[in-house]
Copies of this chain bind each other. A is one copy, B any other.
C-alpha cells in the first residue's frame, strides 16, 4: 500500500532480490538470470519467443492444449517460422515423435513446450523432451507458467535456454508481472531479435544489469507483493513443500469428487496437482451456470472447461489453500448438487 518510487534504491534492491531468489528456486546457479516483464504470463511467453527465437530461426511447438496453441498464434503475429507437433488434450507428447521431427527438419533451431497444460491439467514429460532436444542439438524454451514453484524442477537436470512463468500461479503472488529465467550465454546472443520494445528481454536485461532499474514503470506494489510471496514460499519449505501441499489438495479434491460421482478427464499418472478437469455430468438437471453461481455464493469460484474434445469444468488445487479448504469445496459441491436435484456427477 506504499507509494514506492520505482527509480529509488529501495525498489532497485527489491527487484534484485526477486531476480536472485527465482534463480535459486530453479537451481540456476551462475549460468542463469531472471528477467522480469510487466504484464501477464502471456506477455512473458511472447517476450521469451520474440527474444530467443532469431528472426531466421524456426520453432517446433509441442501442442496438447490451448496454451501450446497460443504460442502458434504468437508466432503468426511475429511472422516467425514454426512447425507444430500435436497430441490430443488428454495425451502427453511422445519424445520419439519430437526426435523424429528434429531429425527430418534441419531448419528447426528451437523447441518450446508447455510444462503443465492447464487446458486439461496434464503434466507433460519435460525431462524426456528436453533430453531429445539436447540430443538433437537444438535449444529448448519452456512455458512453465502454472508449474514453476510447485513441480520439482532443476535447471541442472533440464537443458534449456529460457523458462517463462509469472507472479500469480504457484508462487501465490498477485498478478501483474511475468518473468523469464534466461541462460545468460544464450540471452547475450539475442540482441536485435525482439519484435517489440516493451517485450525485449535483452534490452530489459541490459537496463537491470546497468542501473538496476526496470526500463519502464513497473507495477511496484505487485513486485513488493511478489517478494513477500517468495519469502512465504521459502518459509513453507520451497518447491518440495508446496508440491506436497498441492498434491494433497489434488488428491483430496479428486477423492471427494469421485465420491459424488464425478469423473476426471485424466488418469492419475498424467494429472498435475495444479488444476483438475472433470467431465460434465450427464444428469439433465445439471446446468453449469447454475452450478457455478451457487458455488460462488458459497465462496468457491471454479473454472469453465477449456477442452475441445469434451464438455467439462475445472477446479484448481493451487493458491493459499489446504486440504481443509478443499474438503469445504467438495462439501459445497455436494450441497449444490442437492439444491439442483442432481444425484450424481456421473458423466456417461
Residues of A at under 8 Å CB distance from B? Answer: 3, 5-8, 38-43, 46, 50, 70, 73-74, 77-78, 166, 168, 174-176, 194-200, 215-222, 225, 296, 301, 303-304, 319
Contacts and interface: CB of A to CB of B under 8 A. Distances in A.
Contact of A5 (B199, B222, B301): B301
Q: Which residue of A194, A200, A216, A218 has the most chain B CB atoms within 10 A of its CB atom?
A: A216
Contact of A38 (B40, B73, B215): B40
Contacts of A200: 77
B218 A40 contact: yes
Contacts of A174: 219-221
Contact of A176 (B50, B195, B219, B296): B219
B219 A8 contact: no
A46 B196 contact: yes
B7 A217 contact: no
- Give 3 nearest A-B pairs by CB, closest first: A176-B219, A40-B216, A38-B39
Given A41-B216, A221-B174, A221-B221, A196 B195 contact: yes
Q: Which residue of A195, A200, A296 has the most chain B CB atoms within 10 A of its CB atom?
A: A195
24 contacts: A6-B175, A7-B303, A8-B301, A38-B43, A38-B176, A39-B198, A40-B198, A42-B198, A42-B215, A42-B216, A42-B217, A43-B198, A70-B197, A78-B195, A78-B196, A174-B219, A175-B217, A175-B218, A176-B221, A176-B222, A195-B196, A196-B196, A221-B221, A222-B222
A198 B38 contact: no
Contacts of A221: 174-176, 221-222, 225
Contact of A77 (B8, B41, B77, B197): B197
B216 A43 contact: yes
A345 B13 CA distance: 31
A251 to B, nearest CB: 23
B199 A198 contact: yes
Contacts of A199: 196, 198-199
A220 B85 CA distance: 35
A59 to B, nearest CB: 15
A217 B319 contact: no
Contact of A196 (B38, B70, B77, B319): B77
A319 B2 CA distance: 13
A222 B199 CA distance: 20
A41 B319 CA distance: 30
Nearest to A174: B221
A121 to B, nearest CB: 17
B175 A42 contact: no
Contacts of A301: 5, 8
Contact of A74 (B5, B50, B78, B197): B197
Contacts of A8: 296, 301
Nearest to A5: B301
B41 A38 contact: no
Contacts of A197: 42, 46, 70, 73-74, 77
Q: Which residue of A50, A73, A176, A303 has the most chain B CB atoms within 10 A of its CB atom?
A: A176
Nearest to A3: B319
